[in-house]
Amino acid sequence: MYKMILSDLDETLLVDHHVPEVNRAAVGKLESKGVKFVPATGRAFNMIGEILQELGTYQKAGEYSICFNGGLIVENKDNHILYFNGLTFEDTKTLFDIGKDYDVCVMIFTLDCCYIFKADPDEVARKTAQKARFEVIEDYNMDFLKEAKIAKILFEKRDMPYLKKIEEDLVDVTKGRFAVSYSSYRYLEFNPLDVSKGSALLWLADYLGISQTETIAIGDNYNDTSMIETAGLGVCVDGATDDIKAMSDYVTTVDYDQGAVAEVIEKFIERDGEFKNV
């Protein structure tokens, strides 16, 4: 029996930054089945409050969220932090200084805010639509964050080949020091080395007394691959790239904007009114 489902948000669960009704209805059936539904996102926790409201898990005890690609695990009631693994100021500054020399928007996420440097107007509009707490910083200087709890730093550009070239350029800097991932086909993200959605899945499953084989993970992008590979059932949506499809146990027949998450719940939880490992 599956007891916990982790789902990515953007391009997996959400459409236009909201949970569509088909997914809301499917998730709403899980509580009576004793199945936890856990958002697993690169977003900050303060960016997903409205989403949790739509899921019916906002400010609820015994409901959980994974944020910052696994760097933060929260019990939703009173925003109770169970686990946090962030970057040091020095490590962040290493990447921040490098970002100045590339044609990218640079974002630093703390527990409380997203700070945007070399702002891309499209990214500012995106953060506004996400209802994120953010500040655009005109001066390229991060010294004001010396005492902050930094979760991650990322480079944004809507040009994946360019971002992949940056990753190649930085291999001597990042190898053995940072966890590197991509998301939303516009972000090159840097977390502490041992942070991933897959490691967060294992941590939360252990915390809840759930075995690895009793978990499902649903995603679409490269920052989802660790949880897709780690879960008892790893799922990607139909719009994922071919390499992500190849590593998944199941590929949905529809894309995220047509109810891919609902399909997974129907197929592996609700079918015939029974839990089934297929």
The angle at the Cα of 70, spanning 126 to 3, to the nearest 5 degrees, equals 110
Predicted confidence (pLDDT) per residue in 12-24, tens digit: 999 999 999 999 9
- Phi, psi angle pair for 222, to nearest 5°: -70, -25
Predicted confidence (pLDDT) per residue in 79-98, tens digit: 999 999 999 999 999 999 99
Q: Tell me, which fold does domain 89-192 have in CATH?
A: 3.30.1240
Enter the pTM of the model.
Answer: 0.93
Q: Tell me, which fold does domain 4-84+196-273 have in CATH?
A: Rossmann fold (3.40.50)
Predicted confidence (pLDDT) per residue in 142-164, tens digit: 999 999 999 999 999 999 999 99
- With bands split at pLDDT 50, 70 and 90, how would you rate the model's confidence at 277? very low
Which among 134, 139, 142 has a CA at the least distance from the CA of 95?
142
pLDDT of residue 271: 77
More confident residue, 240 or 270: 240
Neighbours of 110 (CB within 10 A): 18
pLDDT of residue 256: 98
Predicted confidence (pLDDT) per residue in 16-70, tens digit: 999 999 999 999 999 999 999 999 999 999 999 999 999 999 999 999 999 999 9
pLDDT of residue 276: 45
Neighbours of 207 (CB within 10 A): 13
pLDDT of residue 8: 98
Across 8-12, average pLDDT: 97
pLDDT at 274 over 80: no
Across 239-246, average pLDDT: 97
pLDDT of residue 278: 43
pLDDT of residue 270: 86
What percent of the chain lies above the pLDDT cut of 70? 97
pLDDT at 272 over 90: no
What is the distance between the alpha carbons of residues 60 and 63, in angstroms, rounded to a whole number? 6
Predicted confidence (pLDDT) per residue in 200-229, tens digit: 999 999 999 999 999 999 999 999 999 999
Across 263-274, average pLDDT: 81
Domain ranges of the chain: 4-84+196-273, 89-192
Residues with Cβ within 8 Å of residue 152, at least 6 apart in sequence: 42, 68, 69, 71, 86, 87, 108, 109, 189, 190, 191
Predicted confidence (pLDDT) per residue in 104-142, tens digit: 999 999 999 999 999 999 999 999 999 899 999 999 999
What is the distance between the alpha carbons of residues 38 and 50, in angstroms, rounded to a whole number? 15
- With bands split at pLDDT 50, 70 and 90, how would you rate the model's confidence at 185? very high
